[in-house]
């Protein structure tokens, strides 16, 4: 099999011969809601599922399907569902597995909106969220019971930059009959081979690295095809009819269809384009992040730098093994207090003051006053978000320019 970038650029062999009509080197954008059929019989076959066909773009669309095919060729797995956002992918999967009286065991330092989804949005529906320290295996084991429907964690938590032992947690989850869901946004399937490490479901916010420079919002659900969905009460009926495809069919024919957070064809096109240069951009941002972390360590105003690529990081060796020798594009550092952070951010000339991560542009933010502003100072402290923390998402610019900008902003 050819290498990652070759596959990313050329894609899998075309599924649809019509696409080759003009020799297009890029798939067309099918900006349409509905699709006409030659006969009543054909449309009936499409609706009953006897013959796969596109009927309505909330459910499937050829451009979105092409993006899904290309993701699958890179990430592996049994199938992929692309949705409107990372949060759409997360909420759709949780609704496919959980329900009243059940619980999800999740990392305590997750992406803020994921915590809010689990702890607030889904609570009135009777789903319990149990937040635990994913680096503490005993705590994880103790939190799982017969009503646990999934273990949910992130490859690198943000902004704490904690890395968990995925293979060990997968083994623990599977021993208890529970699927492991990995939010692989920060590392993607280029750096972190989620399926090989034991994840059953991989989720990626394609808004970040995949969109190719912050062009569009999107999300991916990848079923790695190792979990027996008949063990998941919510999917048992689907498993009877569709066996190993239970989750994918349940998403397509019920849950994702009914929630309706579909990816727009034009955004699928942009993200297909982004996928082609994924490895190139991830590599460059990781090199920049490493160099920035090392540079910041030598600055007197900086009290601490956190980056998995530094030998001082507690999970450095684990991250090296799990992420293909690289450490991602996000780092944080500590200044004296909030005022010093604001002064630093205000002086930046090149680096953008913006939320989002893994853009082509380097972005900086003060998490305590922005992403975590809804939490009290005590809660933030518990979450590892201090008043003096600055988060940097390294882009793909020339390192010397980033270094010079940071140096002048710290002075
Ligand atoms: C951004 C992000 C999400 C949410 O993705 P959206 O595309 O913004 O909905 C989920 N998880 C992680 C780790 C993220 O960084």
Residue bearing the CA closest to ligand 1, atom 1: 205
| Distance (Å) from CA 113 to ligand 1 centroid | 8
**Mean pLDDT over residues 36-51, rounded?**
94
How far away, in angstroms, is 389 Cα from ligand 1 center?
A: 20
Task: Please report which confidence band the pLDDT of residue 109 belongs to, taking 50, 70 and 90 as the band edges.
Answer: confident
Is the minimum distance from the CB of 205 to ligand 1 under 6 angstroms?
A: yes
40 within some domain: no
Say which CATH number the domain at 85 has.
3.40.640.10
Using a 10 angstrom Cβ sphere, with 0-12 exposed, 13-18 middle and 19 or more buried, the burial of residue 55 is: middle
User: Are residue 271 and residue 139 in the same domain, yes or no?
Assistant: yes
Judgement on whether residues 217 and 319 belong to the same structural domain of the protein? no
Query: What is the CATH classification number for the domain harbouring 400?
Result: 3.90.1150.10
The CB of 60 under 6 Å from ligand 1? The reply is no
Query: Which domain covers residue 293, as residue numbers?
Result: 278-410
Is a pLDDT exceeding 80 seen at residue 371?
Answer: yes
| 183 CB near ligand 1 (under 6 Å) | yes
Query: 43-52, 180-189, 345-354: which range is least confident on average?
Result: 43-52
Ligand 1 contact via 169 beta carbon (within 6 Å): no
Q: What is the pLDDT of residue 16?
A: 63
**Ligand 1 pocket residue status of 211, Cβ below 6 Å:** no
Of 237, 258, 275, which one is at a domain's C-terminal end?
275
**Ligand 1 pocket check for 85: Cβ under 6 Å:** yes
Q: CA-CA distance, 83 to 361, in Å (whole number)?
A: 24
Question: Last residue of a domain, which of 240, 260, 275?
Answer: 275
CB distance 395 to 359 below 8 Å: yes
What pLDDT, on a 0 to 100 scale, did the predictor assign at position 174?
97
Same domain, 110 and 138: yes
The first and second tokens of residue 320, run together, are 């090296």
Residue 374 has pLDDT above 80, yes or no: yes
Residues 183 and 199 in one domain: yes
The answer to whether residue 222 sits within a structural domain is yes
Q: Is the CB of 112 under 6 A from ligand 1?
A: no
Q: Is residue 39 part of a domain?
A: no
Residues 213 and 297 in one domain: no
Look at residue 264 and tell me whether its pLDDT is greater than 60: yes
CA 360 to ligand 1 centroid distance, Å: 17
45: confidence class by pLDDT, cuts 50, 70, 90: very high
Number of structural domains found in the chain:
2
Q: Is 387 in the pocket of ligand 1 (CB under 6 A)?
A: no
To test the pocket of ligand 1, the residue of 82, 83, 87 to mutate (highest count of ligand atoms within 8 Å of its CB) is 87
Query: What are the E-state strand segments in 216-284?
Result: 219-223
Q: Is the pLDDT of residue 24 over 90?
A: no
Distance 184 CA to ligand 1 centre (A): 10
Look at ligand 1, atom 4, and give the residue with the nearest C-alpha.
Answer: 86
Name the residue of 185, 192, 206, 372 to mutate for ligand 1: max ligand atoms within 8 A of Cβ: 185
What pLDDT does 20 receive?
59
Higher pLDDT: 126 or 20? It is: 126
Phi, psi for 76 (deg, rounded to 5): 80, -165
Predicted pLDDT of residue 19: 53
The rounded mean pLDDT for the chain is 95
The pLDDT-based confidence of 26 (bands split at 50, 70, 90) is: confident
Strands 148-154 and 201-205: unpaired
Instruction: Assess whether pLDDT exceeds 60 at residue 292.
Output: yes
Task: Judge if 136 and 263 occupy the same domain.
Answer: yes
- CB 158 less than 6 A from any atom of ligand 1: yes
- Find the mean pLDDT for residues 372-378: 90
Question: Are 312 and 220 part of one and the same domain?
Answer: no
Together in a domain, 230 and 290: no
Q: How many CB atoms lie within 10 A of CB 35?
A: 16
How would residue 155 be classed by pLDDT, with cut points 50, 70 and 90? very high
Q: Does pLDDT of 17 surpass 60?
A: no
Ligand 1 in contact with 111 (CB < 6 A)? Answer: yes
- Kindly state whether residues 377 and 237 are assigned to the same domain: no
Ligand 1 pocket member 154 (CB < 6 A): yes
Task: Report, as an integer, the average pLDDT of 252-281.
Answer: 97
The pLDDT value recorded for residue 161 is: 95
Note whether residue 119 is domain-resident.
Answer: yes
Return the residue whose CA atom lies nearest to atom 11 of ligand 1.
111
Picking from 213, 241, 275, the residue at the C-terminal end of a domain is 275
Q: Is residue 43 part of a domain?
A: no
User: Does 36 map to a domain?
Assistant: no
Mean pLDDT of 338-367: 97
- The ligand 1 atom at the shortest distance from the C-alpha of residue 356 is 1
Question: Do residues 210 and 147 share a domain?
Answer: yes
Specify the pLDDT at position 22: 82
286 and 265 co-located in one domain: no
CA of 356 to the centre of ligand 1 (A): 9
pLDDT of 240 above 90? yes
CA of 17 from ligand 1 middle (Å) equals 35
Q: What pLDDT does residue 18 have? A: 52
CA angle 147, 152, 157 (to 5 degrees): 150
User: Does residue 48 lie in a domain region?
Assistant: no
For the full predicted model, state whether its pTM sits above 0.75. Answer: yes
Ligand 1 atom at shortest distance from the alpha carbon of 217: 7
Is the pLDDT at 266 greater than 90? The verdict is yes
Residue 159 CB–ligand 1 contact under 6 Å? no
Give the pLDDT confidence score for residue 352 in this predicted structure. 97
> How far is the C-alpha of 79 from the C-alpha of 366, rounded, in Å?
38
Rounded CA separation 274/233 (Å): 37
Q: Which residues of 116-130 are buried (b: 16+ CB within 10 A; e: fewer)?
A: ebbeeebeeeebbbb
Check whether residue 374 and residue 263 sit in a common domain: no
Kindly state whether residue 346 falls inside one of the protein's structural domains.
Answer: yes
Which residues lie closer than 8 Å to 55 by C-beta, 6 or more apart? Answer: 34, 35, 37, 43, 46, 47
């Amino acid at each position: 099999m050819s290498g990652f970038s070759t596959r990313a650029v050329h894609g899998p062999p075309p599924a649809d011969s019509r696409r080759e009509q003009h020799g297009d080197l890029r798939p067309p954008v099918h900006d349409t809601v509905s699709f006409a059929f030659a006969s009543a019989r054909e449309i009936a076959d499409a609706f009953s599922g006897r013959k796969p066909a596109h009927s309505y773009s909330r459910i499937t669309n050829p451009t979105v399907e092409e993006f899904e095919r290309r993701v699958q060729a890179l990430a592996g797995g049994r199938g992929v569902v692309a949705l409107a956002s990372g949060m759409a992918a997360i909420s759709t999967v949780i609704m496919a597995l959980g329900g009243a009286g059940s619980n999800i065991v999740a990392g305590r330092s997750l992406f803020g909106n994921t915590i809010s989804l689990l702890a607030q949005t889904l609570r009135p529906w009777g789903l319990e969220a149990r937040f635990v320290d994913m680096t503490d295996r005993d705590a994880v084991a103790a939190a799982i019971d017969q009503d646990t429907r999934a273990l949910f964690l992130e490859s690198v938590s943000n902004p704490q930059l904690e890395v968990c032992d995925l293979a060990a947690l997968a083994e623990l989850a599977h021993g208890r009959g529970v699927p492991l869901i990995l939010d692989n946004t920060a590392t993607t399937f280029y750096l972190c081979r989620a399926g090989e490490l034991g994840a059953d479901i991989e989720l990626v916010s394609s808004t970040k690295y995949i969109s190719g420079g912050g062009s569009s919002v999107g999300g991916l659900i990848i079923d790695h095809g190792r979990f027996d969905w008949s063990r998941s009460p919510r999917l048992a009926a689907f498993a009877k009819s569709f066996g190993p495809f239970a989750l994918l069919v349940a998403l397509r024919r019920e849950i994702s269809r009914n929630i309706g957070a579909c990816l727009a064809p034009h955004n699928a096109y942009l993200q297909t384009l982004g996928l082609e240069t994924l490895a190139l951009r991830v590599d460059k941002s990781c090199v920049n992040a490493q160099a920035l972390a090392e540079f910041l360590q030598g600055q007197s105003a900086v009290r601490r730098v956190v980056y998995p690529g530094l030998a001082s990081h507690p999970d450095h060796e684990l991250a090296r093994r799990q992420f293909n020798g690289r450490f991602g594009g996000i780092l944080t550092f500590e200044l004296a207090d909030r005022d010093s952070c604001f002064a630093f951010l205000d002086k930046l000339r090149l680096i953008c003051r913006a939320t989002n991560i893994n853009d082509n542009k380097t972005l900086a933010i003060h998490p305590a006053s922005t992403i975590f502003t809804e939490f009290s100072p005590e809660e933030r402290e518990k979450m590892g978000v201090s008043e003096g923390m600055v988060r940097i998402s390294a882009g793909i610019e020339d390192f010397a320019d980033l270094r010079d900008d940071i140096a002048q902003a710290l002075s």
